[in-house]
A and B are shown apart, each in its own frame.
Chain A
Amino acid sequence: MSNVIETEVLSKKYENVYRVKDVDLLVPEGAIYGFLGPNGAGKSTTLKMVLGLAKPTAGEISVFGKRVNSKNRLENLKNVGSLIESPSYYGHLTGEENLQIFQTLRGVPKQNIDEVLKIVRLDNQKNKKVSQYSLGMKQRLGLASALLGYPKLLILDEPTNGLDPAGIQEMRELIQSLPQKFGMTVVVSSHLLSEIDQLATRVGIIREGEMVYQDSLTKLHQYSQQHLAVRTMNNEVTKSFLSQNGVAWEVQDDYLIIPQMKDSMMSEISKVLGQNNIGLVRIEERKKSLEDIFLELTGTAVSL
C-alpha cells in the first residue's frame, strides 16, 4: 500500500523552540489516520506544514508521491480537502453562497454544492446565513467545503472541537463513511483518545513535537494485552529463576511483571518457588488500558 502523505524529519521551530521535531508522518492510502496528541503537541503545525500554510524549518513533505515545494504546492493540493482548527466561513453569507465561493475558486462543477450539502445534511439550511448556524452546523459546512472537489485526501484538524456528544457522533459517522463511499484517505487529528479509537485504522501519536508512536490501531491495542504481576518473598532469586526458564519479566514497584501464561505453567512456577523456599505472596492479573498506553507515550493525562 502506497503512502498518500510522507514526511521526512519534518521540523518546525518558533523562536528557537521546536514545535515539531523530526516527524516522519506516514499516511497509507485508504486509511483513516488518527493523529493523536495532547493540546499543543504539534498536530496542527504538522498538518499546516503539509498544506503549505506554515513553512518547515527542516525536512521534506511528499503528497501523492510528489515532493512538495512552493511551486507545485497548489497543484498537489488540488486533490486535498482540509479543515484546519476551525471551519472557515463568511458569516454574512448563506451556506450555499459560502460553498459557491470555494466551488468557483476550486473550479469544480456547480452541482457539487448540492451534493456536498446533502452529504453533510445541510441541504435544508443552505439559504440560512452562516452566522445563524450552530457550531455543529458550521463544522459540517467546513467539512462540506473540504469535500467540494471530492478530494482523494481529506485533512481534518480537530473536527469535533466544541461539538456536543450528538454532534461528535454525527461527525464521526460522516468521517467513517468517506473512505468507503468516495475512496478517500482521511487524516483526523484529535486530542481525544476515545475519538481516534472509534474512528481510525492507523494512528500516530505526537508528544511535544515528536512522533512517539505510529502504527495500526490494532497494534496499539496489543499493548494492552493482559499480563501477570507476581510478588514473592525474594524477588531477586525469582528473577534469575524466571530468566533461566525463558520467562520475560520486568520490575514494577514490588512486583515482577510477566506475560500471561497457561495455568499449568504458572502452577509449575509456584511449585518450584515453593521448593526453593521462596514464598509466593501475590499473583494478579493486570491489563493496561489504552489510556495507560497513551499516558505512557505522551506523559499527559487523557483528555475526556
Chain B
Amino acid sequence: MLRKLRHELFSTPGDGVLSLGLLSLLVLALVGFLRWAFHQAEWAVIQANSTLFAVGRYPLDQQWRLWLLTTLLVGAAGLSWGLLRAHPRSDREGVLWPRNDRVAAAVLVVLALWLPFALRLHPGIQARWWGLAALLLALRWLAGRHGRQLPSKLLRLVPLIWPATYIIGMVLISGGLGMAKVPPSEWGGLLLTLLAASFAILLCFPLGVLLALGRRSELPLLRWASVVYIEFIRGAPLITLLFLGQNILGFLLPGGLAPERIWRAAWVLTFFAAAYLAEAVRSGLAAVPAGQVEAARSLGLSYPQALQQVILPQALRVALPSMVGQFISLLQDTTLLSLIGLLELLGVARTVMANPEFLGKNAEVYLTLAVLFWCCCAALGLGSRALERRLDPQTIPSR
C-alpha cells in the first residue's frame, strides 16, 4: 500500500513537488469548504423550502397522490431489483446479495435515515420516508428470495409494471377519473424536472430510431427528410427552439389547439433530443456489418423482421453508451425551462431566492441543486455501465 502510494506520488523529485503542491491545495480547499458549510452557510433556506423544491406549488391537499405515486415507484423498483437478482445467471449463480447490492442497500439506508432528519422534515413525513425505504428493501428481499418459484408466465409480465406505473402516475399527477384536476401550471420543482425529462426520454427514443433508419435509408426522399430535420435541430441552440415553442407554436396551429406551456416545452425537448439520439443510433447501425442484413434476408426474414430481430438489437447495444449520454444531457437541459419562466428545479430556486427572507442564499441553493443533479446523472451513468456489462455477448450465458 505504502509502496504503491510512493510509486504513484513520489516516483521522481518533480512528481514529489507536484504532489505536495496539489495535496496542500486540496487540503486548503477542503478545510475552507467545510468551514463554510458548517459555520457560515445557513441551510434553513433548503429546510424551509424542501416541499417547494420537491413538487413546486402542487396543492397541499392533493399531495397524497404524489405519495401514492412514490410508493408505487418504490414498489416497482424493489420488485424489479429483486427479480433481476433472482434470475439465474452463469456468473452470479446463487448470489442473492452481490457486493454492489449490499453497498446500494447501505447507501439507501443511510440516506433514508439521514436526509429527512437533515431537512428537518415533520416527524410524520420522516416516518413515511423510512417506511418507503423499508418497503423497497423488503420487496427486494422477498422478490430475490422467492422470485424463482414464480411461474414464468407471470415473470414475463413483470416488465410491464413500468409502463403501467408511468400511466397511472400521469393520471395521479394531473387528476381526472374522479380526482380533482391539478393544472400543469401548478406542477413544479423536482416533479416537473423528472416529468419533463422522462416524457422526453420515452418519446424521443422511437422517434430517434425512426430518424436514424430514415437517414440510412436507400429511399432518397426519406433520407433527405431525415437529414434536413436532424441538421436543422442540431444547428440551433435549445433555447431558441424553446423560444420557438413558446412564441411561434401558437401561430403554427389553429387557434386554441396549442397545448399548455409545460407540454409545449416537453414536446420541444422531445423533438430536440430525437435529433441527437438519431445520430447516436446511426453510429450504432453503422457498426453492424452489412453481412448481418444479408444473412438475415437470405434466411427469409422480411426487412422489418430482420431489422427487429437482427439489426436493431446489435445496433442499440453498440449505441447504448452514447444514447445514455444523450439522456443525461437531456436531464440537464431541463434546467433551460427556467429561462422561459417555468418553475422546474432551477426556476423554483430563483423564486425561493427572490423571497426577502432568503435573499443572498445563492451558494447554499445552487450547491444543493448541483449535488442533486450530479447524483441523478451519475446514477444514470452507472446504470448504463451495468446494462452494458449485462448486454455484453461475452457475459450473457449461451443457451
User: Are A and B a genuine interacting pair, yes or no?
Assistant: no
Chain A residues within CB distance 8 Å of chain B = none
Chain B residues within CB distance 8 Å of chain A = none
